[in-house]
Amino acid sequence: MQNDEIMDPRIIDGRGIADKIEDQVKREVEKLKEKGIQPTIATLLVGEHPPSKLYVKLKEWACKRAGIRSEVHKYSEDVALEEIINLIDELNNRVEINGILVELPLPEHIDEHEVMSAIKPSKDVDGFHPLNMGSMLIGKERFVPCTSEGIIRALEEYHIEVLGKNVVVVGHSNVVGKPTSIMLLNRNATVETCHVYTQNLKEHTLRADILIVATGVKGLITKDMVKKGVIIFDVGVTWVGEKVYGDVDFDSVIEKVKLISPVPGGVGPMTIAILMEHTIEAAKLQHNLR
Amino acid sequence: MQNDEIMDPRIIDGRGIADKIEDQVKREVEKLKEKGIQPTIATLLVGEHPPSKLYVKLKEWACKRAGIRSEVHKYSEDVALEEIINLIDELNNRVEINGILVELPLPEHIDEHEVMSAIKPSKDVDGFHPLNMGSMLIGKERFVPCTSEGIIRALEEYHIEVLGKNVVVVGHSNVVGKPTSIMLLNRNATVETCHVYTQNLKEHTLRADILIVATGVKGLITKDMVKKGVIIFDVGVTWVGEKVYGDVDFDSVIEKVKLISPVPGGVGPMTIAILMEHTIEAAKLQHNLR
């Protein structure tokens, strides 16, 4: 990301929004520490998946900046489900742990649903526990997935009204596509969710006032697929060597957008900042401070 | 419903599908009774809302047909939340109760979310507990809302492939619109959810291969709003005197449809039949019979 790109008013300043959230978190951490509470997040990392290791590192750095204590529990690829569940039980019971985070994806032989369901909902800062997902679905948002909340926060930050807008979400994953669709529906946008089985994707994306893309297919969205004045959130992450690319062909699409989140520097930093915020919320909840 | 209308191959025979499900339920009930288990559903009815009283009656009749024992707990409009929660606790603990049903809507002063959350998820035959809603959202469907499951069942019964189809759901209630959207998304349809804030509804409904309408606005969907060959599920219920109307202007729209569910005789009977089926599933689960 070049500095002159950040200055382009069409480019959503994900880093700037994240910094604002993190500053607030830092102040809250100080207040908690004055009360003798050291906010703490525990992360579970399984295997040697390089992006997962990087994301865990990025979260550790964010914790450090905010004054949150972080402990990372590393397991080899062949860990048994039972061992993971045992650790989660232990973390559930340790009062000094406020948030529990399982870095996804997990190896094939581990049932993700079972792992997520084992986390105490009040420590589920990632928002993936089915109870938290279900509360979100019925409009009682508690801990919600961080990327989706980051997108909502950015829309607020840029004063974009979503009520009645045509939102198209490309991707129907449990981690991004579905929760983002639901959170926008909760805010009375008209929401269409597309994915790999959608026929003639372009026909759908062309109708979007707000387009959210989370497929992991590099450059999927091209200039001809969006209308003039669209607002785009690019949640895609594809690594090519040391470089990371989004799902949107940024250089051509930018000509048509009102706003677009870049990759990197868009939803990534916001996601991590929201995670920090959730950890503080969890700590407050657990100590009856709100 | 006239008999000659039922014979029209474009009209979804909701009663017929329900009868098929109920026949299967009846056989399962007999098997359970041979094992000394009397499947039982407990219903909570608050106030004097006439449609609610009717629906409870319809469910009691269905229980009777299927051999399921039904107990109905009636409360006056001004009941306290605490009293309802106490009853639910009691029903949760009584081993002979397999399913617990709270007839909606509840009076304004009662927090529906709190009531639903109090039901033991394994007895939540209506599928509205946030844990069951969340499991559905992440694609692990357990108890799901009965109307949504009825629609899925009818699509299967008529051999309608939904993968890649354009589905438009009008209405984003927790009871029908949202769960139906999610269940069709889980089956890889492209799903758009519209509602009262949608701009130019007709533009959206015209694109539907499958249209599901659950708004409670009598005759909202007119002939000019659908494309030729559409499949429609009309979940609307508006009472005018003793007569009930759907959300679709049936008499004009029928000319353009491939299939349509009528009101009455469409999704209503299917919803109740699925509820009976869920009660049997709950009984089996609770007795480790599956």
DSSP track, B221-268: B-GGGS-TTEEEEE---EEETTEEE-SB-HHHHGGGEEEE--SSSSHH
Does a structural domain hold residue A49? yes
Does a structural domain hold residue B281? no
Supply the pLDDT for residue A1: 47
Buried/exposed code over A235-272 (b: 16+ C-beta within 10 A; e: otherwise)? bbbbeeeeebbbbbbbeebbebbebbbbbebbbbbbbb
Does a structural domain hold residue A4? no
User: For B129-154, what is the mean pLDDT?
Assistant: 98
Residues B110, B170 within the same domain: no
Domain that holds residue B238: 146-269
Count of structural domains, chain B:
2
Residues A194, A116 within the same domain: no
Contact A14, A269 (CB under 8 A): yes
CB contact under 8 A, B134 and A133: yes
Residues B255, B150 within the same domain: yes
Residue B6 reports pLDDT greater than 60: no
Residues A154, A221 within the same domain: yes
What percentage of chain B has pLDDT greater than the value 70?
98
Q: How confident is the model at residue B279 (pLDDT cuts 50, 70, 90)?
A: very high
Nearest by CB to residue A134, choosing from B130, B185, B194, is B130
* pLDDT averaged over every residue in chain B: 96
Supply the pLDDT for residue A31: 97
Task: Tell me the pTM.
Answer: 0.96
Supply the pLDDT for residue A52: 94
Q: B140 — contact with chain A (CB < 8 Å)?
A: yes
**E-strand stretches of B5-140:** 40-46, 69-75, 99-102
Its ipTM equals 0.96
Residues B153, B84 within the same domain: no
Does a structural domain hold residue B16? no
Supply the pLDDT for residue B69: 98
**B173 has binding-site annotation:** yes
| Touching A: B residues 159-178, CB under 8 Å | 163-164, 166, 172, 174, 178
Which residues of chain A have a CB within 8 Å of the CB of B138?
Answer: 113, 128, 130, 133, 174, 178
Tens of pLDDT, residue by residue, chain A (290 residues): 445 555 799 999 999 999 999 999 999 999 999 999 999 999 999 999 989 999 999 999 999 999 999 999 999 999 999 999 999 999 999 999 999 999 999 999 999 999 999 999 999 999 999 999 999 999 999 999 999 999 999 999 999 999 999 999 999 999 999 999 999 999 999 999 999 999 999 999 999 999 999 999 999 999 999 999 999 999 999 999 889 999 999 999 999 999 999 999 999 999 999 999 999 999 999 999 97
**In sequence order, what are the residues at sequence separation of 6 or more whose Cβ sits closer than 8 angstroms to the Cβ of residue B136?**
A134, A137, B127, B142, B144, B179, B182, B183, B186
Give the strand pairing for B238-240 and B243-245. antiparallel
Residues B154, B211 within the same domain: yes
Residue B4 reports pLDDT greater than 60: no
Does a structural domain hold residue B289? no
Supply the pLDDT for residue B7: 76
- The domain that holds B190 is classified in CATH as 3.40.50.720
Residues B197, B255 within the same domain: yes
- The domain that holds B96 is classified in CATH as 3.40.50.10860
Does a structural domain hold residue B197? yes
Residues B72, B150 within the same domain: no
Residue B1 reports pLDDT greater than 50: no
Supply the pLDDT for residue A99: 98
Which residues of chain A have a CB within 8 Å of the CB of B113?
Answer: 135, 138, 140
Supply the pLDDT for residue B153: 98
User: Which ranges constitute the DSSP H helices of chain A?
Assistant: 3-7, 14-34, 50-66, 81-93, 112-118, 130-137, 146-157, 177-186, 201-205, 250-253, 267-286
Residues A150, A257 within the same domain: yes
Does a structural domain hold residue A228? yes
Residues B224, B157 within the same domain: yes
Does a structural domain hold residue A1? no
CB contact under 8 A, B204 and A190: yes
Q: Find the helix or strand (DSSP H, E) in which B60 lies.
A: helix B50-66
**A173 has binding-site annotation:** yes
3-state SS class at B162: coil
Residues A158, A77 within the same domain: no
Q: Find the helix or strand (DSSP H, E) in which A243 lies.
A: strand A243-245
Supply the pLDDT for residue A6: 53
**A56 has binding-site annotation:** no
User: For B216-222, what is the mean pLDDT?
Assistant: 98
pLDDT digits (tens, 9 = 90+) for B36-84: 999 999 999 999 998 999 999 999 999 999 999 999 999 999 999 999 9
Residues A94, A171 within the same domain: no
Contact A99, A120 (CB under 8 A): no
Supply the pLDDT for residue B5: 52
